[in-house]
Amino acid sequence: MNGGSRRRYNTDVDPLADYPITVAVDVRYRDLDTFNHVNNAVYLTYFEQARVAYFAELGWTSRDDSVVVARAEVNYRRAIVLGQKVRVGCRVARFGTKSYTMEYQVLADGEPAADGITVQAFVSGGRGATLPDALKQRILSVEARVGRKPELGG
């Protein structure tokens, strides 16, 4: 075996199969840094694209009460370069009282390139508020499509 060969992931199993929302992302020339790979800050934009698709699936509009990103975390696994096929999976992992946590997985040419989380805080009337049961039920419905149920926290 060639000592320089790279580990290949099982292509028979989609690593995003248990993410109810997946989006294809076009790597744009403007996403690149001086090293010709996607700049680290752009990964959060890729997360955002998946999150917006999730909100659309919920029927969420900007006219509704809102959520704000209270925390964001990215774990970089490998560089993404121009021309790669990029997909992002998004799911809700956990409910809190006034927030929920979303998980993301970024694949480049089918291999993990990054993963991370965002915590969304629910806001009503410009103030933090308890997550509405109707929102939780819509999220549970989306997650059930892939056999998942977010954890319940305090």
Distance CA 21, CA 41 (A): 22
Instruction: Read off the CATH number of the domain in which 35 is found.
Output: 3.10.129.10
Residue 128 maps to a domain:
yes
Residue 122 maps to a domain:
yes
pLDDT digits (tens, 9 = 90+) for 97-119: 999 999 999 999 999 999 999 99
Residue 54 has a CB neighbour count (10 Å cut-off) of 20
Residue 8 maps to a domain:
no
Which is more confident, 24 or 65?
24
pLDDT digits (tens, 9 = 90+) for 39-90: 999 999 999 999 999 999 998 766 666 889 999 999 999 999 999 999 999 9
Residue 146 maps to a domain:
no
User: Range of 101's domain?
Assistant: 21-140
- Quick one: pLDDT at residue 62? 60
How many structural domains compose the chain? 1
Asked if the model's pLDDT at residue 6 lies above 50, the reply is no
- Over residues 17-21, the mean pLDDT reads 97
The β-bridge relationship of strands 111-124 and 66-76 is antiparallel
CB environment 10-44: b (16+ within 10 A), e (fewer) = eeeeebbeebbbbbebebeeebbeeeebbeeebbb
Residue 135 maps to a domain:
yes
Virtual torsion, Cα 105, 106, 109, 113, nearest 10 deg: -100
- What's this model's pTM, rounded to 2 decimal places? 0.88
Asked if the model's pLDDT at residue 148 lies above 90, the reply is yes
Residue 43 maps to a domain:
yes
Model confidence at 124, in pLDDT bands (50, 70, 90)? Answer: confident
